[in-house]
Amino acid sequence: MILALLLGTLVAPQDTGRLSLHDAVAAAIGSYPAVAVAQAQVDQAEANIGVARAALAPDVRLDASLMRYQEPMIVYPLHSLNLISPPVFDRTLVQPGVSVSYTLYDFGARAARIVAAGAQHDAAMTGVDATVQQVVARTAEAYLRVLASRDRMAAGDQDVAAVRAEVDRARKRFDAGKAAQVEVLRAEAELQRALADDLTSVDDLDLAERQLALVTGLPVHSVHGARLVALRLTDATLAADTADSGRAALVARALSHNPDAVAAEDRARAARATASAARAMASPKIQASGAYLSPGSINGNFHPDWQVGVMMSYALFTGGATSSAVNAADAIARAATQTVRLAQLTAVSAVDQALATLHDAHARVSALESAEARSAEVVRIEALSRDVGEGTQTDYLTATADLLRTRVTLIDARHAEVLARIDLAAITGELSPEWLDRTVEPQP
């Protein structure tokens, strides 16, 4: 699945001037270093499995030695004494040979190491999924931040245009002798406030675009010139659902699929297997061995010889090293088990936090959409009242500023709702490019 996902990220978008969330996520997965690091850890874990499994095979070695002695030494072992053919002596001895050893029984030490290596590999695979989800979430957050910054700038531009129009109106009225200079000064002061806010929006947008470029690996200028797609949730049912059954389903999924909890369980399984291997080291080990040797001298006189046998080794006293190693492995296993529980508690807490944020953002969006419509109507009425002499410029400027604040708050709430849903998917282990395509759609 991971390989297919990474290959899918190599597909380039067709419209080079348009940057969708899907394209941004694909670019981030294909270029962000954390994904490559996680994949390298999987490769390392696979190699460790190979090392652990190799212990099940015989150990075959080719040995050779060349020794020079002060006094002549017997060239090959003396298996029997033959007075008619005395043994050969030489000062320079040569001994090539092949030896084979195989562990017949080790009380499960090798099997436990294989289980531990496999569990570490599973944890590494989960780490890749977790890293991909983190990159997807970070990219979505950066993408939404750019969208929000651009929307806030657009709202600010509308505010500047409205206040600038009021400045022009006040000046004309002052020039015609129909208004006091204070109206001009008040409108100009409000314009400077709006322009200052606009400059802040420009800086926020520049920072947001740089963050998006950083996580996706795209040039800043291409992000700056790209057309981003406004987003919304395809289904807001979950955002509006406050029933306990919905939370229970999310908690159950988080407990079984949360990447941190799953990886913690894999590591706990590896720790338990490592503890089993440590206990097995305190038991005897039975090995079979054999060798084919051909000792001789630098002058020849080689004498082929072979040997086979069975050996048992058991450490009677190690100064407490063996028992200490077992105690340490058991302690690590106990800590790993509690780490699983901690990860699960953290996931449940994160579900509650994300749900609260999602519900709050959804409610705020509904309320602020109504507030925006009413604020826009207040601005229209205040403008009419001002024009017919029944209202004041102050009331109109106040209404304009209130409309801007409402719009900015609505922008933030809309993006917070989408981001909270993405965060919830990451907590429950659902987040992926495919999930984004199903759950987040372009806003018409």
The pair of three-digit structure tokens given for residue 425, joined into one six-digit string: 């998917």
pLDDT tens digits, 371-394 = 999 999 999 998 899 888 888 888
Provide mean pLDDT across the span 297-305.
87
pLDDT tens digits, 259-293 = 999 999 999 999 999 999 999 988 899 999 999 99
Burial class for 275, CB neighbours closer than 10 Å (0-12, 13-18, 19+)? buried
CATH of 20-58+107-282+323-442, one of 1.20.1600.10, 1.10.3720.10, 3.40.1400.10, 3.40.50.300: 1.20.1600.10
Provide mean pLDDT across the span 311-331.
91
290/382 Cα distance (integer angstroms): 102
Provide mean pLDDT across the span 39-66.
95
pLDDT tens digits, 53-88 = 999 999 999 999 999 999 999 888 887 777 777 888
| pLDDT value of residue 177 | 85
Query: Residue 225 — very low, low, confident or very high, per pLDDT cuts 50/70/90?
Result: confident
Select the more confidently predicted residue: 105 or 78: 105
Q: Considering only 5-9, 34-38, 338-342, which range has the smallest mean pLDDT?
A: 5-9
% pLDDT > 70, the chain: 95
The pair of three-digit structure tokens given for residue 25, joined into one six-digit string: 């996520």
Select the more confidently predicted residue: 315 or 347: 347
185/193 Cα distance (integer angstroms): 12
Mutual angle of helices 321-387 and 393-427, in 10-degree steps: 150
Provide mean pLDDT across the span 241-245.
71
